[in-house]
């Protein structure tokens, strides 16, 4: 009964965590694997990533004897969790396991996405976009290599986007195409975050590409993220705050439908930034504070750096220079301490370094 873990399991069974530890201690591997995997996936869904990592470790230690789909499911989930917790030193072993038991192109592509995610954390910042772009190209999505190509891509997508029907959807039969687009969208969203404070032109291309890839896909975290990426482009690059707010509302509706606290906090951050741009600073700070609190509870360091930077901007607009300086310094110190310097806006550094 415990040999394989099916995809239709009820993951809401009580005491999964206790059961996995009990059977692991009793050296009853099939039961330990079964409950460990279910407990890990439940914890991961609830953003309890440290618990998820512990439970995936139990499932992984007891994985011998299970079938290939279950071995892949354990290794892939474990690797994804390690990436999210920042424990990249142990990721490659799990990716090697996942690669060994992957059964199709999509599973192989998922491994490449995770490897790109690790590279984006470990490699020097100037090498990261090329690594991510190469992984996107493997998913049959074109990424321009030159600035001229980026500008041409922006022009093409602006025209195509204007002609694209909002009602059209990807045919359900094209399951593999949909999965490839979902993975490509995840990487494009990641590339957008990298370019957001570095290159308005390339950030614009990633925003338009995110719109193209998300078009017609079912609601998901990645589609909600694409809404916030597009909102950022509309607000920060084009100065179109009203259009950005509409996209934020779409993203928050998707997040609430999926009960996704992390993504809802992302959207609240973007709404706060939009209200700040419209001069509605008090309302802006309300949304930014809510997002900051959520990121603290979740432990999302990168997002904390960004939202603290947004708060610094809002305080500056409010005329509170002392608080703007304090917030800038807090965001900068957090970014440096956790190796997230690349997401801290360079224009705030003079404020952050003010004695």
pLDDT at 325 over 60: yes
Tell me, what's the pLDDT at 348? 80
Mean pLDDT of 208-216: 89
Q: 91-134: per-residue pLDDT in tens?
A: 888 988 888 888 877 788 788 778 877 776 666 667 777 877 88
Percent of the chain residues topping a pLDDT of 70: 88
Which residue has better confidence, 58 or 157? 58
The reported pTM is 0.65
Which residue has better confidence, 350 or 282? 282
pLDDT at 9 over 50: no
- Per the prediction, the chain carries an average pLDDT of 80
Tell me, what's the pLDDT at 122? 67
Confidence of residue 165 (pLDDT cuts 50, 70, 90): low
Which residue has better confidence, 299 or 308? 308
Tell me, what's the pLDDT at 73? 92
How many Å apart are CA 339 and CA 96, to the nearest integer?
Answer: 26
Mean pLDDT of 169-176: 55
pLDDT at 284 over 70: yes
Which residue has better confidence, 48 or 197? 48
R_g of the chain, CA atoms, integer Å: 21
Tell me, what's the pLDDT at 121? 67
User: Of 159-173, 235-249, 260-274, which range is least confident?
Assistant: 159-173
pLDDT at 6 over 60: no
Mean pLDDT of 192-196: 79
Terminal alpha carbon distance of the chain: 65
């Amino acid at each position: 009964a415990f040999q394989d873990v099916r995809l239709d399991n009820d993951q809401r069974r009580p005491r999964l965590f206790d059961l996995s530890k009990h059977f692991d201690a009793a050296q009853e591997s099939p039961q330990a694997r079964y409950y460990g995997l279910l407990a890990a996936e439940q914890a991961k869904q609830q953003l309890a990533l440290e618990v998820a990592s512990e439970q995936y470790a139990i499932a992984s230690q007891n994985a011998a004897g299970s079938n290939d789909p279950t071995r892949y499911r354990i290794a892939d989930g474990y690797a994804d969790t390690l990436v999210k917790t920042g424990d990249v030193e142990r990721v490659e072993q799990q990716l090697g396991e996942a690669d060994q038991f992957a059964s199709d192109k999509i599973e192989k592509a998922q491994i490449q996405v995770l490897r790109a995610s690790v590279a984006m954390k470990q490699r020097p910042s100037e090498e990261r976009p090329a690594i991510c772009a190469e992984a996107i190209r493997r998913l049959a999505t074109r990424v321009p290599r030159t600035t001229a190509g980026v500008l041409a891509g922006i022009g093409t997508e602006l025209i195509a986007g204007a002609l694209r029907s909002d009602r059209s959807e990807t045919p359900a039969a094209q399951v593999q195409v949909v999965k490839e687009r979902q993975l490509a969208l995840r990487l494009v969203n990641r590339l957008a975050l990298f370019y957001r404070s570095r290159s308005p032109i390339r950030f614009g291309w990633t925003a338009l590409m995110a719109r193209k890839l998300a078009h017609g896909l079912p609601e998901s975290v990645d589609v909600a993220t694409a809404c916030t990426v597009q909102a950022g482009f509309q607000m920060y690059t084009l100065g179109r705050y009203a259009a950005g707010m509409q996209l934020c509302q779409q993203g928050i509706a998707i997040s609430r439908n999926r009960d996704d606290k992390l993504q809802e906090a992302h959207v609240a951050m973007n709404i706060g930034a939009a209200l700040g741009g419209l001069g509605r600073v008090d309302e802006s700070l309300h949304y930014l504070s809510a997002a900051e609190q959520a990121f603290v509870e979740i432990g999302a360091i990168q997002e904390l750096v960004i939202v603290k930077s947004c708060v610094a901007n809002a305080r500056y607009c409010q005329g509170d220079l002392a608080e703007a300086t304090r917030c800038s310094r807090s965001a900068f110190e957090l970014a440096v301490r956790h190796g997230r310097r690349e997401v801290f806006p360079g224009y705030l550094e003079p404020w952050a370094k003010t004695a």
